[in-house]
């Protein structure tokens, strides 16, 4: 067997399975094979390109988020600092964002000085935003959630059970974010007002 890159004698091959690359020592005439030197270079190049792809993809999500905000008759210069904070955070933590809507929500939260943890693990689940100071979870729901309401309901109950009695989960459809993302703090305030109205002294919990 010849190396796919240099043509020298090959020693191993590389499989692609479920989007991931797997080292497969067994050679096959039907697959690309590599010598040890080229195999290492191939692995390094693939790793660097995947990291670059992820960085550019996340950067594009932030760009789309900024465009969405701008379409909503927003004074963008008021949000400039928040946008830069979110850009820097996601650049350093690309695993903390899954969509442009999550990036948009992060910008709104930062602008309103609402502390949050993105993609936070609660038991076996991962929530979009955890607001520990307010005892609130924000979940950003795309179209697919319209067909998962029963599952989401069970999931929310389990999450609240793990977090505590007075925690609330607010689900925000992406279509609402398309129309007016700046209403996110209003939705949070409604939860806080409900607690005050019902004399729930959650701040001391």
Structure tokens at 136: 């609130």
Say whether 66 sits in a helix, a strand or coil. Answer: helix
Q: What is the predicted pLDDT for the residue at 60?
A: 95
Structure tokens at 36: 């040890």
State how beta strands 125-131 and 136-141 pair: antiparallel
Q: What is the predicted pLDDT for the residue at 25?
A: 64
Is position 170 within any domain?
yes
Is position 135 within any domain?
yes
Q: Could you tell me the pTM of the whole model?
A: 0.81
Q: Which helix (H) or strand (E) holds 193?
A: helix 184-197
Q: CB–CB of 174/145 below 8 Å?
A: no
How far apart CA 194 and CA 205 sit, in angstroms, is: 16
Mean pLDDT of 12-17: 67
Q: What confidence tens digit (pLDDT) does each residue in 108-119 have?
A: 999 999 999 999
Q: CB–CB of 43/37 below 8 Å?
A: no
Q: How many domains, in total, are found in the chain?
A: 1
Q: What confidence tens digit (pLDDT) does each residue in 154-202 have?
A: 999 999 999 988 899 999 999 999 999 999 999 999 998 988 888 777 6
Is position 10 within any domain?
no
Is position 73 within any domain?
yes
Is position 30 within any domain?
no
Is position 78 within any domain?
yes
How far apart CA 40 and CA 132 sit, in angstroms, is: 45
Is position 47 within any domain?
yes
Reply yes or no on whether the pLDDT at 85 is more than 90.
yes
Q: pLDDT averaged over the chain? A: 88
**CATH number of the domain residue 119 falls in:** 3.40.960.10
At 205, is the pLDDT very low, low, confident or very high (cuts 50, 70, 90)? very low
Q: What confidence tens digit (pLDDT) does each residue in 19-45 have?
A: 555 666 667 777 788 888 998 898 899
At 146, is the pLDDT very low, low, confident or very high (cuts 50, 70, 90)? low
Its domain, for residue 199, covers 35-204
The dihedral over CA atoms of 127, 130, 134, 139, expressed in degrees to the nearest 10, equals: -40
Is position 48 within any domain?
yes
Q: What is the predicted pLDDT for the residue at 12?
A: 77
Mean pLDDT of 107-134: 96
How far apart CA 139 and CA 96 sit, in angstroms, is: 14
């Amino acid at each position: 067997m010849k190396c796919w890159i240099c043509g020298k004698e090959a020693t191993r091959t590389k499989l692609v399975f479920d989007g991931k690359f797997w080292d497969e020592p067994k050679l096959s005439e039907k697959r690309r094979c590599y010598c040890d030197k080229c195999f290492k270079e191939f692995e390094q190049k693939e790793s660097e390109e995947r990291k670059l792809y992820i960085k550019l993809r996340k950067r594009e999500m932030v760009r789309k988020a900024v465009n969405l905000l701008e379409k909503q008759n927003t004074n963008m210069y008021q949000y400039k600092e928040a946008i830069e904070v979110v850009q820097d955070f996601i650049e350093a933590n690309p695993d903390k964002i899954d969509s442009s809507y999550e990036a948009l929500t992060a910008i709104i939260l930062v602008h309103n000085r609402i502390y949050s943890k993105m993609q936070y693990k609660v038991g076996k689940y991962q929530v979009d935003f955890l607001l520990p100071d307010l005892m609130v979870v924000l979940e950003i729901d795309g179209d697919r959630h319209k067909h998962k309401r029963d599952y989401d309901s069970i999931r929310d109950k389990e999450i609240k059970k793990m977090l505590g009695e007075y925690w609330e989960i607010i689900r925000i459809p992406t279509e609402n974010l398309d129309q007016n993302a700046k209403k996110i703090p209003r939705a949070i305030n409604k939860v806080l007002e409900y607690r005050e109205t019902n004399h729930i002294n959650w701040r001391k919990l």
